[in-house]
Amino acid sequence: MKTANGPRLTRKTYVKLGIVLGVSLVVLVSAWSCLSFVPTLYRIGDAAELAEPPAAPEAPKAPELDTAAGDTASDADAASKADKADKAAEAKSARSGVDAGSDAPTLAAAYPMKANGDGALSHVTMDPSEVTSMVIDWPAGRLDIHAVPDADCDGKIQIVETTDRRGAEPLNVELVGGTLRVNANPVFGLIGCSTWANMTKRTLEIGVPESVAATMRSLSLKSASGEASVSGLGFRSIETDVASGRCTLDGVDTQDLTVSLASGATSMDGRVEKQLLVDIASGNVDVNSRTTPSSTELSLASGTVELGLPSDAGFTMETEKVSGTFTCDFPATGPVVGDGKARLYTEMASGNVTIRPIG
């Protein structure tokens, strides 16, 4: 007796079904993440939720904000129109993270980019004696960390965030054990739609008083995209981790510099005293050091690295490469340049490395 067999599913059919189910799952999870994004602002010290005051302008009294710092009590004649206007201004400043004692004209003069936007989304000031390190996680947009004349910033570290997007939430800013941490604290969808749209139009400026600009311990800068720049500062150690976009270090001095790059470009002009580590998957890295690092390690999967050193530099080269081009423009005797004291090790699967003298 013959048994009737039903239709059989081939291996190709199973693969197609798997792809359809996988794509459907990605779409559902991403949509859920985009709808559920609820960013929170953490103020320095105690985390405080900022309440939105009533929109009606005729309210007899501006709402009080529960902040860790505590605002100045209102005067007895709070019913006057002048006092109402002052309180409304203070409430607006607190919602945006601006300290009550800030002077907007001075701030605009110290930070020219603020004058070109719609005003600060958030503004935080810190005593520089409380900050020894910085950890910045910057998803996208423009980031600028630079030295500021003490007179323009009242001797305080200034953190100013601007955006032209309505309804945007401020970044998270916190001070933990002497480390200033700034991040977006996002809930990412698999396609990133919950954060990228709000971050690409942001600008974050961190101004450090010139009197303490060269005394910082460490800087860790992570950037997913956009443009980041650091200028006129000094750190014992600097780490940059860039997925894409551009990172520029200009007039920066450090003992140790670590550069990680997936794509995009990273450039540095300043001094690296002890150790230089460069690890790139692709993209371009350009480092000009006015001093010769004691130890340099370059690792490339692909891309380009250009390293400028003083014309009287002395180092010994060690190179391991599968493919690509390694060029040294210094006069050398075998692998030795000058006195050969410093170590320069290069490991490359592909790409181009150029070691050149600078004036």
Mean pLDDT by 10 residues, the chain (359 residues): 47 57 56 40 33 42 40 44 43 35 38 44 88 91 92 91 74 90 62 48 89 93 91 96 94 97 95 97 96 97 97 96 95 96 96 94
**CA dist list (Å): 333 to 286, 315, 328:** 25, 11, 11
- In this predicted structure, what is the pLDDT of residue 193? 47
DSSP class per residue in 265-320? EEEEEEEEEEEEEEEESSSEEEEEESS--SEEEEEESSSEEEEEEETT--EEEEEE
- Tokens coding 327: 């060029």
Residue indicated by tokens 């009080």: 64
The residue among 343, 349, 262 whose CA lies nearest residue 295 is: 343
- Tokens coding 243: 């997925």
Pairing of strands 304-310, 120-126: unpaired
- In this predicted structure, what is the pLDDT of residue 186? 52
Task: Say how many Å lie between the first and final Cα of the chain, rounded.
Answer: 94
Q: How far apart are CA 44 and CA 56, in angstroms?
A: 30
- In this predicted structure, what is the pLDDT of residue 198? 52
- In this predicted structure, what is the pLDDT of residue 200? 54
- Which amino acid, one-letter code, is at 268? M
- Alpha-carbon Rg of the chain, whole angstroms? 27
Q: How far apart are CA 228 and CA 186, in angstroms?
A: 19
Tell me the residue length of the chain: 359
- Which amino acid, one-letter code, is at 351? G
Give yes or no for a contact between 174 and 159, defined as CB atoms under 8 angstroms apart.
no
Pairing of strands 202-209, 157-163: antiparallel
Conformational region of residue 279, where left means phi above 0, alpha means psi within -120 to 50, and beta covers everything else? beta
- Tokens coding 92: 């607006």
- Which amino acid, one-letter code, is at 277? L
Whole-prediction pTM: 0.67
Q: How far apart are CA 228 and CA 261, in angstroms?
A: 13
